[in-house]
């Protein structure tokens, strides 16, 4: 009986979705017939908010297809209400165009709706990799989509399915880890959570899988560098995340700034069109990275020709009036390229068909403005509890001389380190600003320091100092060490040692003769040997986001450690890159390592 029911369910699903697909296709064809070349090219143009400010009428003049907020393109009022109001104002211009095709708005909500003050900020992907949980990642995708749609924004430049193979790379924390299998599972889970089962659901959002292809495999981990591998390796290591994302229904993707054997991805027709669109059957659309087509040629017109002919469908353009390589230049030059038959009309029609198919599948016109009723859920306790659960599951216990879990009562704890009370350090890059924030410049979160105070019980005293002074006669010292927030190439490092300040605090605390717990906030494994020797317990907490309470939940034993390393942990920089499967493999801690309290009981 179950088999029959399953068959019927599948049959009805297929038949219902088939007519819907046919209906959308007919609508797309009808729209295309009505569109001028200018209107078609307008749909292929995505403009950053900072470039359109004071020129909102250009949305009508050029029938623009999309607006984004890049990492640092903030608006004056960054509350959820402020974002919703700005979104509504901009969307209203699309309704003054002849065809009233809605704008689709894109944002980097890469660990929650991270441009919004008061949103819940989830752990970055490296931490989610340590959870090994597609379930929690899917829930995070769904919550992120809901908080985005509360502000109107329908499109997320996430998930990043980079397979980070060299931790020198400043974007290691945006990757789920070094293993293609783990990355493909969690990337697909995020797509499913974000897009749901029906793209027209007003609480779902469009995912954008990035950055195609091989962004995490560049030589020396150089951001936007060159991935020098043969095709078999490129496919085996870096492609699975995209294949799985297509199966999960991904309908937009972003090429990488990086190159494959010297050829820039944004101009690589073989990979963008022959492999991704034809061989793998990707029928969504490709949006460029930020001004990425400019890197193809010093002559902007040639750059446009190369990228659009390679298979790019929409250009992300940060420059406006009076600037070089502006969105007006893009529109004018692409129109001329078509007129001169340098770019075939069929390529334009294919790109616009892909874009319109997504917009109609999402029923953007039916959910044109922000749903104000959803605002109440932004940063809600329910959402924060999911983030707190993700934090707990992401923590990796590297060492424990039986001093964890901590007693809640009757002990004297001394906390040290300048990052112990910093939401900014917990969140890392892509938080309010592109490069992150310092201090507690985002409301609603809990720092690790606050979490320890929240959890401590009767008779427990908690001291604090930046440098560890005053820790004498404490029963336990806790040092929070951290990388300062960074994003993209700003985070590229040749040396991953802990900062001298953090090492000094650990030494000071150790010299007090008390047990020392080190909690490391970082976007990647770091070189920790000497600090590890001095520590009696060492926890890799990654970049946990706003819900620091999850750290205390495990430190004090309300929950056990379950996290497993998503990266091999190197002994020294000479070992990097070091990845599971290497012929010579002798890390400090292997991929998948993680202790639990049970193991400590022995
Ligand atoms: C950035 C990043 C990309 C992001 C885009 C828009 O440079 O490479 O991941 O989605 O620009 O902010």
The 10s digit of each residue's pLDDT in 297-341 is 999 999 999 999 999 999 999 999 999 999 999 999 999 999 999
Pair 335, 401 in one domain:
no
Q: How would you list the strands of the sheet with 206-207, edge to edge?
A: 206-207, 155-156, 104-107, 66-69, 45-48, 315-317
Q: Which of 240, 256, 116, 257 is nearest to 181 (CA)?
A: 240
Domain extent at residue 545: 382-575
Q: Quick check: is 594 in a domain?
A: no
Pair 352, 389 in one domain:
no
Pair 127, 181 in one domain:
yes
Residues of the chain with pLDDT > 70, as a percent, come to 97
- Does ligand 1 have an atom closer than 6 angstroms to the CB of 290? yes
What tokens were used for 95?
A: 């309704």
Overall average pLDDT of the 569-579 stretch:
98
Q: Which of 421, 488, 524, 538 is nearest to 125 (CA)?
A: 524
Minimal-distance CA residue to ligand 1 atom 11 = 290
- Could you tell which of 290, 294, 431 is best to mutate to test the pocket of ligand 1, judged by most ligand atoms within 8 Å of the CB? 290
Q: Quick check: is 341 in a domain?
A: yes
Reported as a pLDDT band with limits 50, 70 and 90, residue 10 is very low
For the chain, the farthest-separated pair of C-alpha atoms sits apart, in whole angstroms, at 81
Residue-averaged pLDDT of the chain: 96
The rounded Å distance from CA 597 to ligand 1 centre is 40
Q: How would you list the strands of the sheet with 226-227, edge to edge?
A: 226-227, 259-260, 263-264
Q: Quick check: is 558 in a domain?
A: yes
Reported as a pLDDT band with limits 50, 70 and 90, residue 12 is very low
The rounded Å distance from CA 269 to ligand 1 centre is 21
Identify the CATH number of the domain in which residue 280 sits. 3.20.20.300
pTM: 0.96
The pLDDT value given to residue 74: 84
Pair 397, 345 in one domain:
no
- Does ligand 1 have an atom closer than 6 angstroms to the CB of 223? no
Pair 275, 395 in one domain:
no
Check whether 184 has a pLDDT greater than 90: yes
Integer CA distances (angstroms), 292 to 54, 298, 318, in order:
24, 12, 10
**Structural domains of the chain, count:** 2
Contact between 446 and 385 under an 8 Å Cβ cutoff? The reply is: no
Minimal-distance CA residue to ligand 1 atom 8 = 289
Q: What region does 527 belong to: left with phi over 0, alpha with psi -120 to 50, or beta?
A: beta
The 10s digit of each residue's pLDDT in 469-478 is 999 999 999 9
Q: Quick check: is 580 in a domain?
A: no
Contact between 75 and 82 under an 8 Å Cβ cutoff? The reply is: yes
Integer CA distances (angstroms), 328 to 46, 92, 103, in order:
11, 21, 17
Q: Which of the residues are catalytic?
A: 289, 488
- Does ligand 1 have an atom closer than 6 angstroms to the CB of 289? yes
The pLDDT value given to residue 3: 54
DSSP calls for 277-301 = IIIS---SEEB--TTGGGGG-SSHH
Pair 132, 13 in one domain:
yes
Minimal-distance CA residue to ligand 1 atom 10 = 157
- Does ligand 1 have an atom closer than 6 angstroms to the CB of 156? no
Please tell me the distance from the alpha carbon of residue 424 to that of residue 240, in angstroms, as a whole number.
33
Q: Quick check: is 589 in a domain?
A: no
Q: Quick check: is 546 in a domain?
A: yes
Pair 516, 546 in one domain:
yes
- Could you tell which of 50, 51, 71 is best to mutate to test the pocket of ligand 1, judged by most ligand atoms within 8 Å of the CB? 71
Minimal-distance CA residue to ligand 1 atom 3 = 289
Pair 404, 355 in one domain:
no
Question: How far, rounded to the nearest angstrom, does the alpha carbon of residue 243 sit from its chain's CA centroid?
Answer: 18
Minimal-distance CA residue to ligand 1 atom 1 = 290
Pair 392, 487 in one domain:
yes
The rounded Å distance from CA 153 to ligand 1 centre is 16
The pLDDT value given to residue 598: 79
Pair 481, 446 in one domain:
yes
Contact between 102 and 518 under an 8 Å Cβ cutoff? The reply is: no
Q: Quick check: is 550 in a domain?
A: yes
Q: Quick check: is 583 in a domain?
A: no
- Could you tell which of 46, 50, 70, 291 is best to mutate to test the pocket of ligand 1, judged by most ligand atoms within 8 Å of the CB? 70
User: What one-character DSSP code corresponds to residue 568?
Assistant: -
Pair 89, 122 in one domain:
yes
The pLDDT value given to residue 5: 52
Ligand 1 nearest atom to the CA of residue 174, by list position: 9
Reported as a pLDDT band with limits 50, 70 and 90, residue 19 is confident
Ligand 1 nearest atom to the CA of residue 157, by list position: 10
The rounded Å distance from CA 355 to ligand 1 centre is 19
The rounded Å distance from CA 257 to ligand 1 centre is 9
Minimal-distance CA residue to ligand 1 atom 7 = 290
Please tell me the distance from the alpha carbon of residue 498 to that of residue 506, in angstroms, as a whole number.
11
- Could you tell which of 73, 108, 211 is best to mutate to test the pocket of ligand 1, judged by most ligand atoms within 8 Å of the CB? 108
Please tell me the distance from the alpha carbon of residue 561 to that of residue 551, in angstroms, as a whole number.
10
Checking DSSP bridges between strand 209-212 and strand 396-400, what pairing results, if any?
unpaired
Helices marked H in 285-431 — which ranges? 300-310, 327-339, 345-361, 381-394, 423-427
The rounded Å distance from CA 289 to ligand 1 centre is 6
Identify the CATH number of the domain in which residue 508 sits. 3.40.50.1700
Pair 332, 388 in one domain:
no
The 10s digit of each residue's pLDDT in 427-481 is 999 999 999 998 888 889 999 999 999 999 999 999 999 999 999 999 999 999 9
User: What one-character DSSP code corresponds to residue 472?
Assistant: T
């Amino acid at each position: 009986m179950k088999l029959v029911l399953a068959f019927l369910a599948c049959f009805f699903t297929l038949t219902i979705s088939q007519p819907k697909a046919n209906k959308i296709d007919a609508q797309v064809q009808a729209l295309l017939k009505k569109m001028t070349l200018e209107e078609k090219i307008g749909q292929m143009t995505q403009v950053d908010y900072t470039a359109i400010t004071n020129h909102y009428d250009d949305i009508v003049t050029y029938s623009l297809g999309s607006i984004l907020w890049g990492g640092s393109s903030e608006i004056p009022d960054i509350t959820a209400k402020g974002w919703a109001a700005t979104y509504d104002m901009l969307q209203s211009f699309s309704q003054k165009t002849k065809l009233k095709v809605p704008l689709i708005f894109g944002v980097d909500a890469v660990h929650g709706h991270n441009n919004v003050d008061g949103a819940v900020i989830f752990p970055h992907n490296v931490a989610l990799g340590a959870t090994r949980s597609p379930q929690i990642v899917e829930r995070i995708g769904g919550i992120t989509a809901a908080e985005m749609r509360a502000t109107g924004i329908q499109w997320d430049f996430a998930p990043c399915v980079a397979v980070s193979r060299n931790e020198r790379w400043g974007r290691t924390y945006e990757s789920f880890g070094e293993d293609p299998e783990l990355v493909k599972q969690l990337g697909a889970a995020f797509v499913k959570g974000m897009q749901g089962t029906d793209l027209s659901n007003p609480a779902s959002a469009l995912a954008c899988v990035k950055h195609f292809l091989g962004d995490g495999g560049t030589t020396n981990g150089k951001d936007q560098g060159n991935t020098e591998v043969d095709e078999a390796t490129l496919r085996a290591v870096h492609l699975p995340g995209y294949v799985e994302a297509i199966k999960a229904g991904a309908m937009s993707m972003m090429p990488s700034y990086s190159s494959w054997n010297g050829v820039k991805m944004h101009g690589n027709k073989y990979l963008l069109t022959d492999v991704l669109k034809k061989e793998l059957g990707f029928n969504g659309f490709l949006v460029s990275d930020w001004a990425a087509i400019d890197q193809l040629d010093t002559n902007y017109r040639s750059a446009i020709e190369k990228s659009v002919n390679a298979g790019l469908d929409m250009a992300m353009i940060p420059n406006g009036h009076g600037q070089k390589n502006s969105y007006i230049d893009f529109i004018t030059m692409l129109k001329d390229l078509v007129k001169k038959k340098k770019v075939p009309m069929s390529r334009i029609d294919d790109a616009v068909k892909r874009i319109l198919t997504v917009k109609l599948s999402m029923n953007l016109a039916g959910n044109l403005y922000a749903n104000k009723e959803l605002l109440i859920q932004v940063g809600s306790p329910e959402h924060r509890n999911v983030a707190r659960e993700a934090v707990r599951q992401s923590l990796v216990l590297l060492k424990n001389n039986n001093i964890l879990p901590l007693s809640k009562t009757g002990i004297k704890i001394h906390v040290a380190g300048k990052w112990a009370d910093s939401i900014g350090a917990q969140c890392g890059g892509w938080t309010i600003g592109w490069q992150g924030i310092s201090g507690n410049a985002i409301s609603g979160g809990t720092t690790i320091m606050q979490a320890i105070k929240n959890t401590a019980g009767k008779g427990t005293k908690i001291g604090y100092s930046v440098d560890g002074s005053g820790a004498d006669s404490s029963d336990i010292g806790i040092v929070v060490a951290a990388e300062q927030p960074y994003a993209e190439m700003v985070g590229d490092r040749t040396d991953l040692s802990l900062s001298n300040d953090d090492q000094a605090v650990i030494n000071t605390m150790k010299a007090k003769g008390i047990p020392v717990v080190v909690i490391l906030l970082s976007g990647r494994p770091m070189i920790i040997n000497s600090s590890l020797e001095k520590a009696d317990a060492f926890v890799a907490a990654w970049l946990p986001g706003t819900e620091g309470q999850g750290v205390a939940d495990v430190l004090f034993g309300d929950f056990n450690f379950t996290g497993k390393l998503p990266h091999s942990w190197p002994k020294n920089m000479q070992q990097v890159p070091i990845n599971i499967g290497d012929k010579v493999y002798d890390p400090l801690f292997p991929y998948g390592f993680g202790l639990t309290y049970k193991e400590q009981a022995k």
